[in-house]
Chains A and B, each alone.
Chain A
Amino acid sequence: MAELKLMKGNEAIAEAAIRCGCDGYFGYPITPQSEIMETLMARQPWDETGMVVLQAESEVASINMVYGGAACGKRAMTSSSSPGISLMQEGITYIAGSELPCLIVNVVRGGPGLGTIQPAQSDYFQAVKGGGHGDYKLIVLAPASVQEMYDFVDLAFELAFKYRNPAMILSDGVIGQMMEKVQIGDYKPRLTDEEVVKRYGSWATTGKPSTRERNIITSLDLDANSQELFNLKLLKKYAEIEKNEIRFEEISCTDAEYLLVAYGSSSRICQKTVDLAREKGIKVGLLRPITLYPYPYGAIQKLVPQLKGILAVEMSAGQMVEDVRLAVNGKVPVLHYGRMGGVIPTPNEVLKVLEDKLIKG
């Protein structure tokens, strides 16, 4: 039965993991997301659902534990923040190259380097453009509320298993730390090995029964031609994902002459900017990408004929704006506004840039 609870974003991730039938969480503490593992450890889900929770010796080990768990066909996940996610890139590309489903949560903080523990959105490139080596994609979901932190855990696992591809929740320190009410769902039972086979096929390493060939989870293929065939197979899968899984939200776009594009916590700020601008008679809309990969290029393209200009707002030096420009392809001006280093822009700041740079500029 659904219930309402006041929770931190990070706590919502943990609660959702337990309730969506996650089999294993493997992580390493890092600010601003440590509450995820802390909540899990306090909840002791191994008694409740059988879910394994383990504090690893490093992010490198965490992601490789996720690899091992995912290769067993289990719902395996980890979470971290930017520097830790950098450490995980090796494991992530192996997981993508082995076509394994898993969930990685990045509660982003400012960088580069050790950076700051304050919120940022400067890991966009790392999340959607590769991050690790080789041609691969993550399915990337960007929650803008604590409710979405909760909801996207199960969604990410569903998508990850549907496509046998790692999925990432790209959050940030704002959403991770803030408290909101959350509608909590019922418990979904963890899947048995037999159910995994029935739903997703028999690829997991569960121990080889005499009734099937051995399963090998690997990303290695030394033959150039067959490796290329594998790359093509991945591209085909990514094309399917791009066709089926684009998610976005449009706010006040119907009559908009100007468009804000923002995801995650920036989209909440921009929502207020839209209200402020509309009070002044400026016809502004907001397009909020929910999936950052696949990116809603088409949704932006569709709005271009009615637009005089676009402002992409991110807590970064300008990363997602490149995808907005790709969508627009020079047809209208696209500007970027961002704060960095953990500074959060205000709705009025965004409005001022909209008026001074985009409308008057």
Chain B
Amino acid sequence: MDVKDIIKEENLVYSKSKVLTDTIMHYCPGCTHGVVHKVIAEVIEELGIQDKTIGVSPVGCAVFAYNYLDIDWQEAAHGRAPALATAINRLYPDKYVFTYQGDGDLASIGTAEIIHACNRGENIVVIFINNGIYGMTGGQMAPTTLIDMPTSTTPYGRKVDLNGYPLKITDLVAQLPGTCFVTRHSAHTPAAVRKLKKAVTKAFQNTRRKKGVSFIEVVSTCNSGWKLSPVESNNWMVEHMFPYYPLGDMKDE
């Protein structure tokens, strides 16, 4: 059978979600952000909540997330997305609100905002991208940077005596009664992406059921910051990130 006979409208089994815009993403080749954006877009489309969803984008590489998902967006100051989301949730209790935050945004400058939004049990979804580095500003140390991991501000690797320990903030928020679903995923294999999509779907369903904060960490790569190829980055992530940030549900109530 010729390829031409297969490529027909009626045989289409996978194509771009309508919730994704046609704008070409600014992310580096192989960046995990693109996969996570796609997953969120597909879930919003499948749940039919495009007209009820408001996203809050962060400062960091995902600052332009609003260019890629065809929903209403608010662009927050660095770390403050959970405060914006809190207000949206309080003023629009029947809408779907999510923040999309990186590790610098959520686990460093915005620690107070995320902890307290989680502790209040705001009815929101938090997507937390943890790649252990500051991508947008050129590869500096993040709160989640692994011990001995080199970055541009830890050129000899992160040292505990100088920089302290990598922050497992997801473990912290799992302790808070305001969170209902706390889970850690990745997006480096088809199976991982499928699992992630299930988690994101559950998170938005939790919003519908007004269960509180659903918090999804996605252990991610930053191949530019890590100075590895996209494929090598995935391998490095499996070898080094997963032991410290093990995948799986921490809480599902």
Contacts and interface: CB of A to CB of B under 8 A. Distances in A.
Give the interface centre of A64, A66, A216 by most chain B CB atoms within 10 Å.
A64
Dominant secondary structure of chain B at its interface with chain A: helix
9 contacts: A54-B87, A61-B80, A69-B90, A90-B77, A91-B77, A94-B76, A207-B51, A207-B72, A216-B73
A68 B95 contact: no
Interface residues of B, number: 31
Nearest to A50: B91
Contacts, number: 125
Contacts of A208: 50-51, 53, 70-72
A207 B50 CA distance: 7
Given A65-B83, A68-B86, A72-B88, A209 B74 contact: no
Interface of A: 23-24, 26, 52, 54, 56-58, 60-62, 64-69, 71-72, 74, 76, 90-91, 94, 98, 205-210, 214-220
Contacts of B73: 205, 214-218
A74 B77 contact: no
A61 B54 contact: no
Contacts of B76: 64, 67-68, 94
Contacts of B63: 220
Query: Taking each of B64, B70, B91, which has the highest tally of chain A beta carbons within 10 Å of its own beta carbon?
Result: B91
B66 A216 contact: yes
B116 A57 contact: yes
Nearest to B52: A207
Contacts of A69: 87-88, 90-91
Contacts of A216: 66, 72-75
A217 B87 CA distance: 14
A217 B70 CA distance: 13
A303 to B, nearest CB: 43
Contact of B80 (A64, A209, A210): A64
Contacts of A94: 76-77
B92 interface: yes
